[in-house]
A and B are shown apart, each in its own frame.
Chain A
Amino acid sequence: MFKLGKFGKKEKSKCEILTILPNDCVAKNGKKLILDNTRWEKRLHKELMSLISEPPPGVTVDAESVSENLSEWKINIDGVEGTLYEGEHFQLLFKFNNKYPFDSPEVTFIGTNIPIHPHVYSNGHICLSILTEDWSPALSVQSVCLSISSMLSSCKEKKRPADNTIYVKTCNKNPKKTKWWYHGKFFLMSF
């Protein structure tokens, strides 16, 4: 069985951001991010710093949303040039719980523009194996964003999943509660 969303192992850029001291964690609006000693929050802070200082192409964090609530991030993704989604802008919502990164984040598309893609339902749910069964604590927000971006880029025809209507009517609000049946394969972007 092919699993959608496989991507290269350990090709993630190294997080040099580690050298930044926690006190430098200041969001755009000047509000200081509240620091906590719990490990999952520490890791989220580090990931956030890395995303802010070295964002991968086409990916930006809505720092304002994060400064309000560290466990819900809004991330903007731009359609990659030369693909079907060129010029479009999408927004992803990441929800983390205190088991992160051992438990995967809940990731959905939100806002008015939900990409039309065979693995994205019109309610924003994404069928991507690394978001559930293939999740590993060594993955990160950045790697998930890049996987989703590369999933969009590899699309050949803009269409909704075949079972979109029935799924959207019957699914749980949390996409992690869906028993996904992964299919299809898409090629890797090197990052």
Chain B
Amino acid sequence: MDSDEESFGKSDSGHNSPTDDEDDFPMEMDQPPVKEKAMETDEYPYETLTTENIVQTMIDCIDDINSVLNLPKTTTRILLNHFKWDKEKLLERYFESNQEKFFRDAHVVNPFNKPKLKNKPKVPSSGLEECEICLSTFPPNMMTGLECGHRFCTNCWGEYLTTKIMEEGLGQTIACAAHNCDILVDDVTVTKLVPDLRVKVKYQLLITNSFVECNRLLRWCPSVDCTCAIKVQYVEYRPVQCRCGHIFCFQCGENWHDPVQCRILKKWIKKCDDDSETSNWIAANTKECPNCNVTIEKNGGCNHMVCKNQSCKYDFCWVCLGPWEPHGSSWYNCNRYDEDEAKAARDAQERLRSSLARYLHYYNRYMNHMQSLKFEHKLYASVKEKMEEMQQHNMSWIEVQFLKKAVDILCQCRQTLMYTYVFAYYLKKNNQLLIFEDNQKDLESATETLSEYLERDITSENLADIKQKVQDKYR
């Protein structure tokens, strides 16, 4: 799947993207915000956010809350993080619940009710304070702490935060260095106390990441090396296209997998991961015990099998799967094909096999389209060559664009076809399945025709014709 995603990311256009031309530019981190790229696909509004946009969204979110609550920004950030950046929930809880508890749950000191510092800084006569971490004494201006009143020297704070960020990968959830104190360190304090720029950058990354990951309306683009995130207004099983060109399902983050639902796709992927290789091997190398159905691998030449299953110990013949008992006697021979008992045993096994065969039928077709899809990405290169060639034969740039478009559509067809097999696997056998299979067949044959034309030498007329046909058939 990975390489598939990767190569799909390279295809730089989708037929339903209104801003195709923009996609041809390589994505750069420092490009200006692309809010204008907000687009609609079946009225599902979403926008692509760059890292800068994400940070801005965080700040906007904090400002929104602060216009109501008027708390310190750093406190608001911790609160928002606690409520997974759900503004409504935060406000609701703020006004409904006990304020003391509200702040305590979020691990911040209530800004309206600062406790008298329980741990009065120890100020000996010398005017120096002791840092409990390095056990050295410092003038008070070298000591610092959070609202909870636990003070340590700035060096130790720096090292403590660096350890938490670099070793433990903590961002917004670093607690005060004192034992048993769960008050969280705010972002401004971290930035102030961490000396190393590299650590600061990692910290920024960690808090941005936690912002995206815990916010249900945001999702990182799963494409390799893409640093954008998609922001939606409500979560739904819908395709979204990142500015890097990658199209994925917002709900689950997998490649867009119409017509299969996320839940079923997940089930399928799990099944494939668990089963495919193993089941292939089992199908090729084993039989089931006709008595207890345990899977058996034959490890010797003798056909007299004794099931090793302790509760079974059935004697049978590996060849005909009938009981072994009659084999020894002169009146029985398992070379007699129409023996009823052997047939019954075979039938039982047949039934067990058929479910596996059914799975493998769908799985092989699914894998095959996935494989083809990977190959189609090579087509882009050859098609590009053809396009250049045609442009030299008195055709305009705009006239040859259909070629690239055809490959785009081919890829989409392949991807849809791939998932139709997953869909069909989970369908019950009824009339609708027949209709579905007919449609699937039409799409498949059209796709193969298109694929054939694109791979062989083409003339402009018949290709345009085929393209038309495919677009008609494409649901």
Contact = CB atoms under 8 A, between A and B. Distances in A.
Contacts, number: 54
Which of B133, B163, B177 has the most CB atoms of chain A within a 10 A radius of its CB?
A: B133
B137 A18 contact: yes
B159 A138 contact: no
Interface string B145-181: 0000010100110011001000100000000011111
Given A99-B163, A102-B160, A103-B163, A137 B133 contact: yes
Interface string A7-44: 00110001100100000000000000000000100110
Kindly name the residue among A39, A99, A102 whose own CB sees the greatest number of chain B CB atoms within 10 A. Answer: A102
B163 A136 contact: no
Given A14-B122, A102-B159, A136 B136 contact: no
A115 interface: no
B136 A42 contact: yes
A9 B179 contact: yes
B132 interface: yes
A136 B135 contact: no
B186 interface: no
Interface string A135-153: 0111100010000000000
B130 A138 contact: no
Interface in A108-153: 130, 134, 136-139, 143
B119 interface: yes
Contacts of B167: 99, 103
Contacts of A130: 179
Contact of A138 (B133, B155, B163): B133
B178 A101 contact: no
A136 B178 contact: yes
A6 interface: yes
Interface string B349-368: 00000000000000000000
B284 interface: no
A47 interface: yes
Nearest to B135: A46
Interface string B298-327: 000000000000000000000000000000
Interface residues of B, number: 22
Contact of B135 (A10, A18, A102, A134): A18
A101 B181 contact: no
Given A9-B179, A9-B181, A138-B179, A39 B163 contact: no
Contacts of A9: 178-181
Contacts of B163: 99, 102-103
Contacts of B159: 39, 102
B337 to A, nearest CB: 54
A55 to B, nearest CB: 17
A60 B137 CA distance: 26
B134 A136 contact: no
Contacts of A103: 163, 167
16 contacts: A6-B180, A9-B180, A10-B119, A10-B178, A18-B130, A42-B134, A42-B136, A43-B133, A43-B135, A99-B163, A101-B133, A102-B160, A136-B177, A136-B181, A137-B156, A137-B160
Interface of B: 119, 122, 130, 132-137, 150, 152, 155-156, 159-160, 163, 167, 177-181
Given A39-B155, A42-B136, A136-B178, 5 more contacts: A9-B180, A9-B181, A136-B181, A137-B160, A138-B177
